[in-house]
């Protein structure tokens, strides 16, 4: 068994309130050294507030933050941001418009002697590959160039932990994917410990070694990308990580009986209890009518690399959505047969 990585940060029951509103509630989390952790969740769930507590630009109302073996926030103790060796890359990059790229990089190194400062700037410039930009000013840089300069500036002081708040959200889609890939390659190459805030589940799956899914100021689920996607612990987690079809059924002898199939599971429920199946669109496929569960095609939307198809199955009250990377010849209104791949079906107790 592989030994667990040492923790760069430990968060213990962190709570933050603004007036009567609790924004974070008892957040406990271990951030592994040398890994990329993604804080994932919808707007307002507390991601950025948690990042601010870690950075030291805000204080928790309860709980502790340990950096390595040292407490940096807790009852009666607060270490100022500049003493935490934590880098912060802002969503809008926050480059100083009146300074050249080289001077932007040197800004956080003012405590170093001039020769060491110049050496460190040269080192990070070479590592990020922005030597051709050093004499330019932020207004003359593209979005991707600004992002790389902001990353270089955050890494220049050699932080123990790098915090990144929605670092790719200001980039166009095509550029975003390329810059994201280059950034992650750089972070992995230097063995950086990074915490990246994102609202995009696909981005978290692509980037994170570890994902922390947040909901309304609490941790809904945490784990590796595969654990979060393949084994969601709630309907919310299943649906946040990707589209799902909800189908209600009756739990009986270790299986969920539904109008479109019988699914095995490990729910701790008495027989006869209502339960829920969350079925991924890719779990569904279609065949000729008469060769499975009878259904009717309601709509087809061409997505380029796939088709999104809505079907109706009697007696379900809701339509089912499926994705197919194979062209489906069936026309809208035509009767087809529905088939299921049980590997993409997640079962939960019925709530609410």
Smallest CA-to-CA distance from 348 within 263, 282, 283 is with 263
Phi-psi region of 91 (alpha: psi -120 to 50; beta: other; left: phi over 0): alpha
How far is Cα of residue 314 from the mean position of the Cα atoms in its chain? 36
What pLDDT, on a 0 to 100 scale, did the predictor assign at position 14? 98
DSSP result, 173-226: HHHHHHHHHHHHHHHHHTT--EEEEES-HHHHHHH-SEEEEEETTEEEEEE-HH
Of 3, 6, 61, 51, the C-alpha closest to 212 is 51
d(CA 199, CA 197) in angstroms, rounded, equals 7
Q: Are 349 and 267 in contact (CB under 8 A)?
A: yes
Q: Which fold has domain 33-58+80-234?
A: Rossmann fold (3.40.50)
Torsion angle, CA of 242/91/220/230, rounded to 10 degrees? 30
Span(s) in the chain for CATH 2.40.50.140 = 243-349
* Range(s) of the chain covered by CATH 3.40.50.300: 33-58+80-234
List, edge to edge, every strand of the sheet that includes 255-258: 261-264, 255-258, 245-252, 274-279, 345-349
The pLDDT assigned to 352 comes to 59
- pLDDT for 122: 94
Measured from the Cβ of residue 150, the count of other Cβ atoms closer than 10 Å reads 23
Q: How confident is the model at residue 76, as a pLDDT?
A: 87
User: How many Cα atoms are found within 13 Å in the side-chain-facing hemisphere of 257?
Assistant: 7
Instruction: Count the Cβ atoms, other than its own, within 10 Å of residue 77.
Output: 11
Q: What is the pTM of this model?
A: 0.91
Q: Which fold has domain 243-349?
A: OB fold (Dihydrolipoamide Acetyltransferase, E2P) (2.40.50)
Per residue of the chain (352 residues), give pLDDT as tens: 555 678 999 999 999 999 999 999 999 999 999 999 999 999 999 999 999 999 999 999 999 999 988 999 999 899 999 899 999 998 888 899 999 999 999 998 988 888 899 999 999 999 899 999 999 999 999 989 999 999 999 999 999 999 999 999 888 888 889 999 999 999 999 999 999 999 999 999 999 999 999 999 999 999 999 999 999 999 999 999 999 999 999 999 999 999 898 999 999 999 999 999 999 998 998 888 877 789 999 999 988 888 899 999 988 888 999 988 888 888 999 999 998 877 789 999 987 5
């Amino acid at each position: 068994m592989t030994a667990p990585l040492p923790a760069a940060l430990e968060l213990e029951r962190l709570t933050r309130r603004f007036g009567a509103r609790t924004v974070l509630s008892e957040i406990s989390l271990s951030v592994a050294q040398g890994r990329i952790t993604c804080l994932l969740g919808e707007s307002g769930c507390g991601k950025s507030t948690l990042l601010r507590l870690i950075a030291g630009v805000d204080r928790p109302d309860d709980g502790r933050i340990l950096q390595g073996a040292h407490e940096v926030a807790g009852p009666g103790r607060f270490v100022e941001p500049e003493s935490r060796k934590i880098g912060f890359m802002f969503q809008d990059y926050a480059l100083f418009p009146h300074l050249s790229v080289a001077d932007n990089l040197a800004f956080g190194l003012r405590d170093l002697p001039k020769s060491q400062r110049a050496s460190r700037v040269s080192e990070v410039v070479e590592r990020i590959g922005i030597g051709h930009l050093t004499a330019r000013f932020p207004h003359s840089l593209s979005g991707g160039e600004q992002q790389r300069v902001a990353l270089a500036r955050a890494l220049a002081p050699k932080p123990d932990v790098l915090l990144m708040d929605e670092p790719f959200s200001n980039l166009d889609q095509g550029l975003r994917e390329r810059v994201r890939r280059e950034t992650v390659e750089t972070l992995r190459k230097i063995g950086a410990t990074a915490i990246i805030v994102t609202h995009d589940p696909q981005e978290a799956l692509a980037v994170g070694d570890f994902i922390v899914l947040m909901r309304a100021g609490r941790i809904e689920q945490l784990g590796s990308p595969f654990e979060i996607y393949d084994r969601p612990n709630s309907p919310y987690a299943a649906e946040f990580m990707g589209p799902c079809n909800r189908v209600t059924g009756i739990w009986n002898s270790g299986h969920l009986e539904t109008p479109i199939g019988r699914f095995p599971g490990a729910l701790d429920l008495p027989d006869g209890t209502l339960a829920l199946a969350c079925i991924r669109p890719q779990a569904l496929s279609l065949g000729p009518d008469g060769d499975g569960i009878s259904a009717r095609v309601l709509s087809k939307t061409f997505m380029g690399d796939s088709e999104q198809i809505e079907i109706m199955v009697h007696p379900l009250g809701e339509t089912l959505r499926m994705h197919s990377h194979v062209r489906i010849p069936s026309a809208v209104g035509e009767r087809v047969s529905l088939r299921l791949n049980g590997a993409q079906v997640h079962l939960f107790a019925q709530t609410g």
